Each structure stands twice: as C-alpha cells, then as structure tokens.
Amino acid sequence: MQRLVGLRNFDWLIFLVVCLFLATGFFFVWSASSESFALKQIIWIGVGIVVFSALLIVDYYSIGKISYILYLIVLFCLFLVLLFGKTVYGAQRWLMVGHISIQPSEMMKIALVLVLSRYFVDKKSIAGFSGIIFPLALTLLPMTLIMKQPDLGTSLILVPVFFSIMFIAGVKVRYLLTIIAFTLSTIPIFWYFVLHTYQKARILSFLWPDTVSSFGAGYHRIQSLVTIGSGGSFGSGWGKGVQNQLNFLPQGHTDFIFSVIAEEWGFYRAGALLCLYVVFIACCIGIALHTRDPYGRLIVTGFTAMFATQILINVAMTIGLAPITGLPLPFISYGGSSLISSFIALSFIFNVRMRNRVALAKDGFYE
C-alpha cells in the first residue's frame, strides 16, 4: 500500500477556483440577505475546510472499503428522516441530532458515488444486463426515500451520477439506453402517484408559464427572470440590485443566488463565473482521466457529475430553462449541509489526485 501523500500533487488550480467561488458566495449571500447570514456562511466555510483537510489525510481506499457500511448508515438516516424529521418549508429533510440539524440526503449523494464505484471496481467486468440490476437498486432505493421527503432536486441528482459512473465504468451504451427508455415509460406513474401538487405546479409553470394561474410557481420564475434581465451587461453593482435589495426575489441567498449575481454583476461577470465552473469541471475530469486507479477514476467521475448536475440545474432553473427544484449552487449558495457535502466531494477529488497510485496489476488492489 502506498502511503506517500505528495503535497506537490495538490491541485492548486482547482483550489484557487474553489476559493473564488467561496468568496463570490460570501459577498452575494451578504448582498442577498444580511451580514449575519454572511458571517454564518464564513463559519460554514471554515468547518468545510476543516472537514476537507481532515479527509485529505485519510486514504480514499480505506473509506472505499467501508463504503457499503456508510451507504447503509445514510440509508438508515433517510428512513429516520421520514419518521422523525424536522419539517421546514413543508418538506421533511432535516434530522435533528441535539441542536445540529443534518440533511442525510446530502450525504447520500456522496455515499452513493462511493458505493457505486466500489461495486463496478469489484465487479471487474459487466457482462450482462443482470450486472446492472444491483447498482440500479442501490440508486433507486435512496431516490425513492428522498423523493418522499419531498426533495425532487436532490433525488434527481442521483440519476446523472448513476449514469456517468456506469458510462465511465464501461457499461454498454445499449444497457444505458434501455434504462432511459424504461424510466421515460414510468413518467405517467410519477405524475399521478408520486409528485406533490406544488411540484406539479412548478413543472407546469416551467412548461407553460402563461397558463399557470396559481401564483407561487410562476411568481418565482418570473421574478428570477426579471432579476437576471435587469442586470444587463454590467449589472447594477454589488449590493445595488433593485430586485434583490427590495426583496422581490425570494430565496436570493440560497437557491436563487445566481440571479442575484447576474443582476448585480451583469452578463460579463456572471458569464465569467459560468466559465470558471466549466474550468472546474474540466480540471476534475482531467484528474479522472489521468489517474491510473480505476476506483479513483470512478469516484472522481461520480463527484464531477454531481457538481456538474447541480450547477447546471441550478443555473438553468434561475434562467427559466428548468423547473424550480430547489438545488443549491455548489460553493456559492448559503447553507451548511450543501457546503459541507461539496467540500467532502472536493476532498475525494483531491485525494485521488494526491494519491495518484500506479496500477500494478489489472486486479487485486485490495491485497
């Protein structure tokens, strides 16, 4: 087992990019809410960096070994949430442990990446369709539980994570298409039995914004568009966005922070932020591509897919390209749980990069 951890392998570029995100996040949380929220955000960033550094010390292989146990623990927590969870905004997403509230659905994203990667590395070769049944079950079970909370956004993140890991693990495209086709055929069932009224309203308001008479769903979308639109090319300046400062835009500091950024910074800087995100994703994929360890490759892929999905859905939602699902923008939105889980994921990516191990043999990594 290779114990050498080289700090020279620390990816300073990604680190710098993430720091830029965090700084942006801090200032816009401040602008969109108040100093107290911004200070809390700083505290969460501090906690996140501690978690990030602590996890760097641990070899990701040793975490990978207990990934099934982790998965089961988080799954159990998800059950607990449904039974005893704290209800906020009409959704039961929080588990209270003493005074700390945790959101197991955030942890599930990480656990799922670990466990899926572990499965595909152990399996070595996926010959038939039967090999996909187990990972499918691993994904669908937490998805159902999270959807029940209800938290449509987080449960949908698991889908691209699942597909991208399978794709990189070398599962035949034919199988993937089969699953997609099957999923699409179950949409009616979802519509009539699973989705809540407000979720339907959000989707309807996205598809046909003019027809929705109910206020809430359309309101959010239009306000977000107006906010972004009034930014123009250079924006109104930090802390000076009319839409934001007059509180026209709800949840400007969490899910809709990108609208605030777009309003106050304008198109060029908001666009630059998007480009930074592309750089971030590209670097992560670069790590996955260059690592010589299949397990590392798969987890980096999984986490990258997770980040990409979150960014894409969040931004798409604010500019009216996707229904409102309530996903935070990684490293920028206010919120402890999402920051911590982003940091954990980032830590794994760095971990893989720093322990760039040599694949000595095609199999037998655990011996």
Partner 1 sequence: MQKARFKILFGTISLLFLVIFCKLFYIQLIQGGKYSGISNNKRIRTVDINTLRGTIYDRNGSVLAVDKHSFELTVMYKKLFDTNLCFKQNILPRASEVKKLALNHNLCNECHIDKVMWVERIAGLLEIPYINIFNKAAKIVKKVENIKRAVERRNERKIRIREETVPHSVVSHIPWEKVAKFEVGMLDLPGIQIETNPVRWYPKGDMSSHVIGYVGKMSEKEIQNYNFKKKWFDDLKKSGESESEFFTQKSISMDALIGKNGIEKIYNSRLMGIPGERFEEVTLDTMRVNKLILERPSTPGNNIFLTIDSRIQAIAEKALGEKKGSVIVMDPWNGEIIAMASFPRYNLNTLNKNYSALSKNPLKPFLNRPVQSVLPPGSTFKIVTAIAALEENKIDENSHFPCYGSLKVGNIRFRCHTKQGHGLLNVEEALQYSCNIFFYETAKILGGKLLRKWAENFGFGNTTDVGLSYEKKGNFPKSNSFSQTINLSIGQGAMLATPIQITRIIATIANGGWYTKPHILQKISDHKGNILVNNKYDLTERINITEETMNIIKHSLRRVVTSGTAKKTGLKELLVAGKTGTTQTSIEDENHAWFVGYAPFDNPKYCFVVVVEHTKGHGAAVAGPIVQEILLQSESSL
Q: In this chain, which of 79, 84, 208, 215 binds partner 1, going by CB under 8 A?
A: 215
Beta bridge partners of 96: 101
Q: Which listed residue (216, 238, 276, 359) binds partner 1 by CB under 8 A?
A: 216
| Consecutive H or E run containing 129 | none
Choose, by CB under 8 A, the member of 278, 292, 363, 366 that binds partner 1.
278
Q: Quick one: which of 18, 152, 308, 329 contacts partner 1 (CB under 8 A)? A: 308
Using a 10 angstrom Cβ sphere, with 0-12 exposed, 13-18 middle and 19 or more buried, the burial of residue 7 is exposed
- State the alpha helices, DSSP H only, in 58-172: 60-65, 67-84, 104-123, 130-148, 152-169
Q: What track of x and - describes contact with partner 1 for positions 23 through 42 (by CB under 8 A)? A: ----------xx-xx-----
From candidates 246, 358, 360, 361, binder to partner 1 by CB under 8 A:
246
What is the per-residue binding string for partner 1 in 255-274, x denoting contact by CB under 8 A?
-------x---xx--xx--x
Pairing of strands 100-102, 86-88: unpaired
Q: Say how many residues touch partner 1, by CB under 8 A.
A: 60
Q: Does 240 bind partner 1 (CB under 8 A)?
A: yes
Residues 6+ apart with CB under 8 A from 33: 252, 253, 334
Of residues 34-93, which lie at the interface with partner 1 (CB under 8 A)?
Answer: 34, 36-37, 87-90
Please choose, from the candidates 221, 224, 223, the residue with its C-alpha nearest in 3D space to the C-alpha of residue 201: 221
Of 48, 85, 142, 218, the one binding partner 1 (CB under 8 A) is 218
Smallest distance from partner 1 to CB 23, Å: 21
Q: Which window, 53-61, 115-123, 137-145, 162-170, contacts partner 1 (CB under 8 A)?
A: 162-170
Taking CB under 8 A as the binding criterion, the range among 63-71, 72-80, 276-284, 350-358 that sits at the site for partner 1 is 276-284
Q: Which residue type occupies 267? A: F
Contacts of 40 (CB under 8 A, 6+ apart): 334, 336
CB of 115 to partner 1, least distance (A): 20
- Note every long-range contact of 62-71, with CB atoms under 8 Å and residues 24 or more positions apart, other chains counting: 63/114, 64/114, 64/117, 64/118, 64/295, 64/299, 65/366, 67/111, 67/114, 67/115, 67/117, 67/118, 68/115, 68/118, 70/111, 70/114, 70/115, 71/111, 71/112, 71/114, 71/115, 71/138
Positions touching partner 1 (CB under 8 A) are: 33-34, 36-37, 87-90, 164, 167-168, 170, 198, 215-216, 218-220, 222, 225-226, 228-233, 240, 242, 245-248, 250-251, 262, 266-267, 270-271, 274, 277-278, 281-282, 285, 288-289, 297, 301, 305, 308, 312, 315-316, 319-321, 324, 326
